[in-house]
Structure 1
Amino acid sequence: MTRDHVMPQRAASEPITIRTTKVAEIDALAVAMDRSRDDIVNQAIEQYLEANAWQMERIEEGLAAARGGKVVPAEDVFAGIATKHGWTR
């Protein structure tokens, strides 16, 4: 086996419950994309986890900045936005 060849990860078998209407939507998407239901569901889970991990990192960074006193009063932020867009407050 070469280093370029990646073995697929073995899937864990874990029963889940999906609303019937969502299964129909997943199946329709799978047919439209010529992919399996498993592919669609696994991609959705991966994207969900990545998005939430990204959000949690940003929240933690924001909390750390606030704890460190790196904050701007809301009125200053709103004034900056208004100025940037030519809005009057």
Structure 2
Amino acid sequence: MSERATSEPITIRTAKVSEIDALANAMDRSRNYIVNQAIEQYLEANAWQLERITTGIAAARSGKVIPADEVFSGIATKHGWER
């Protein structure tokens, strides 16, 4: 089902408009399509990060953490580094 569109004026730096237009032209898409895809991807990425941060904070508050030395040692061992 397609969503209803609304119009919202925004300000974009001139250099970015040129980049958007170049990408739109290369992809044979409209400026509107590129901007809406960028917004959608930005919101998805930030929602994902916020969910992980919230989960991590809850785990830390409940004591479900690994001491930093253990984490660093595990990374060093995995890559064959000395600590």
TM-score norm. by structure 2 comes to 0.96
2:37 is aligned with what amino acid?
Q
Residues 1:28 and 2:22 are matched in the alignment: yes
Which range moved further: 48-57 or 73-82? 73-82
Residues 1:49 and 2:38 are matched in the alignment: no
Larger radius of gyration: 1
Deviation at 1:82, TM superposition (A): 0.8
Which range moved further: 49-58 or 76-85? 76-85
2:17 is aligned with what amino acid?
V
Unmatched segments (≥5 aa) in structure 2: none
Deviations 1:39-89 (A, max 9, x none): 000000000000000000000010010011001111111011111111111
- The residue that corresponds to 1:3 in the other structure is none
Larger helix proportion of the pair: 2
Query: What's the % identity of the aligned pairs?
Result: 77
Unmatched segments (≥5 aa) in structure 1: 1-5
- The residue that corresponds to 1:68 in the other structure is 62
Q: Provide the rounded CA distance (Å) in 2 between the counterparts of 1:12 and 1:67.
A: 41
TM-score norm. by structure 1 comes to 0.90
Q: Provide the rounded CA distance (Å) in 1 between the counterparts of 2:73 and 2:7.
A: 53
Q: CA RMSD in A?
A: 0.7
1:78 is aligned with what amino acid?
F
Aligned length: 83
- The residue that corresponds to 1:78 in the other structure is 72
